[in-house]
Amino acid sequence: MSSWRDRLNKFGGKTRFVVFRLFVHLAGSEVTPLLGVLNRAAREAVESDGDLNVLGEELVAICQNLLQLQIYWQSAANEGDVFWKEGEAGDYVNELFTDSAGRYLSEPDFTTPLADNEPLSIPVTQNVIVMITVAYEGEVPELETNLASVEYLEAGLKALINLHYQESLQAIQVHFSPAQLGDELTDEQILLNFPELVPL
C-alpha cells in the first residue's frame, strides 16, 4: 500500500488513514458458539450507541476468539486503501459497511431478547464467515499485506487487538454470516456470496 505519494504526504505532515476489511471463514461443528460471541458483541455495540471504546473491547474479544479457533480457519481475504483525507476514508468505510451488511445472511435480529445461557438451535451451521472493517491512523505493516496464510492472518488479528490498545482506531464494524443461530451457510453459498476468499 505504500507508495512515493505516501512518503511525500508523510514528509508534508499529513495524517495517514487506512481503511481495512478482513474476511475469515471458519468451518466445523465447533465454530457455532462463535455466533454467540459475535451476537453479544453486536448487541453491546448497539446498546453503547457506537461508543468506540466499547466497540474496541468487543473487537478484541472477537479477535481473541478467532485466534483460539485457528484450527478451524478455512479461508481468508483482505482489502483496504490509504487516504490522506478523513472524509474520503469515511466514505470508503460506509461503502464497505453497506457491502458487508448486504452479504448473505449477515443481518442480525435484535428484536428477540437473548438469554444468558440460550441453548444452541438446530440445525447448527458448519460455516461461519466474520467480516471485520476498521479505519485507523498510521501504518500497520501486519495489516497492509495479503493475509491469506495462517501465519499472516494470525499476525493481522494480533495487530487489530494492538490497534485498540494503542487507541489508533477511528471506526470499527463487524458483520458475520450467518447472523442467526439456526441459519445455515453452505459451501455453495460461500462460493457464490464470498468469491474473494482464498483457501488457507
Q: Is pLDDT at 194 greater than 80 in this prediction?
A: yes
CA angle 198, 91, 83 (to 5 degrees): 75
* Average pLDDT for the chain: 87
Reported confidence tier of residue 121, pLDDT bands at 50, 70, 90: very low
Interacting residues of 112 by C-beta distance below 8 A, sequence separation 6+: none
Reported confidence tier of residue 109, pLDDT bands at 50, 70, 90: low
Share of residues in the chain with pLDDT > 70 (%): 84
User: Tens of pLDDT along 125-157?
Assistant: 789 999 999 999 999 999 999 999 999 999 999
User: Tens of pLDDT along 40-51?
Assistant: 998 998 899 989
Q: Is pLDDT at 108 greater than 80 in this prediction?
A: no
Reported confidence tier of residue 7, pLDDT bands at 50, 70, 90: low
Give the C-alpha separation, 131 to 174, whole Å: 6
Q: Strand 198-199 vs strand 169-177: parallel, antiparallel, or unpaired?
A: unpaired
Q: Are 74 and 200 in contact (CB under 8 A)?
A: yes
Rounded mean pLDDT, 164-182: 91
Residue 70 DSSP code: G
Q: Is pLDDT at 25 greater than 60 in this prediction?
A: yes
The three grid cell numbers given for residue 176, joined into one nine-digit string = 458475520
- The whole-number pLDDT of residue 111 equals 57
Q: Is pLDDT at 8 greater than 90 in this prediction?
A: no
- The whole-number pLDDT of residue 10 equals 55
Beta-bridge partners for 27: 127
Q: Strand 198-199 vs strand 17-27: parallel, antiparallel, or unpaired?
A: unpaired
The torsion angles phi and psi of 97, rounded to 5 degrees, stand at -60, -50
Q: Note the pTM of the prediction, 2 decimals.
A: 0.87
The three grid cell numbers given for residue 21, joined into one nine-digit string = 476489511
